[in-house]
Structure 1
Amino acid sequence: MATVELTTANFDEVAERDGIVLLDFWADWCGPCKRFAPVYERSSEKHPEIVFGKVDTEAQQELGAKFNIRSIPTVMAIKDGVIVYAQPGALPESALENLIEQVEKLDMEEVRQQMGDHEHKH
């Protein structure tokens, strides 16, 4: 599955679905974003079971603000509606593949439990 352009209109529907959703926050003027785009695209073709979304931070400033995106590109991974990874910086292909493997292995029951434990401590 190729990449999907996300906007405020379709973001929640896509991000909250079961399974893995990867997001690339980018902008047209951003050199590293342009270099990362083909890596992201190739990865999307290798993993048709994963949704690869792209958020243009210029056109979708509300989404950039909602997720406190300060630096682009930022890659975010969501599994079963929970953000499990968010880091700025273009990833080399091997690191992106490694991230996908790690997210696939996550036990979401455990993640939710840890999140609950973390919230109780604050």
Structure 2
Amino acid sequence: MVDAITDENYNEETQDGVVLTDFWATWCGPCKMQSPVIEQLAKERQDVRFTAMDVDENPETAKNLGIMAIPTLIIKKDGQIVDRLTGYTPKAKLDAILDQYTD
């Protein structure tokens, strides 16, 4: 399951463990390609928490993180950003990247 998060709860919701946040917008074509990949990985991986944030509804976090293009995927481990991917990322590549941060 992919949890929707907001500007108000981003820091709290991404503090513990490995968390991937998909920054997206409804009008973004590549975001529509990325979302099913995130949904599939969320079903397959119990070692990562998957979240998503609509940048149009929550502009502050995207601004604070310097997100200039979407989709942008930010991976945090124990509250610290460990990776950032911009543009569509295929499932196999994203799965391999996540493996680097899980035990």
Question: What TM-score results when the alignment is normalised by the length of structure 1?
Answer: 0.81
Query: Aligned equivalents of 2:8 and 2:43: distance in 1?
Result: 25
Q: Does 1:13 align with 2:17?
A: no
> Deviation digits for residues 38-96 of structure 1, max 9, x if unmatched?
01100011112321010100000011101110000001100011100012111101011
- Identity, in percent, stands at 34
Q: Which structure has the larger Rg?
A: 1
Structure of higher RCO (CA pairs closer than 8 Å, 6+ residues apart): 2
Query: Aligned equivalents of 2:46 and 2:99: distance in 1?
Result: 14
Q: Which runs of 5+ in 2 are unaligned?
A: none
Larger helix proportion of the pair: 1
Could you tell me how far 1:9 is from its partner in structure 2?
A: 2.1
Secondary structure of residue in 1 paired with 2:98: helix
Q: Hey, what does 2:100 align to over in structure 1?
A: 102
1:1-122 pair list within 5 angstroms:
2-17=1-16, 19-104=17-102
Could you tell me how far 1:103 is from its partner in structure 2?
A: 1.5
Q: Hey, what does 1:119 align to over in structure 2?
A: none
Cα RMSD for the two superposed structures = 1.0
Question: What TM-score results when the alignment is normalised by the length of structure 2?
Answer: 0.95
Could you tell me how far 1:22 is from its partner in structure 2?
A: 0.4
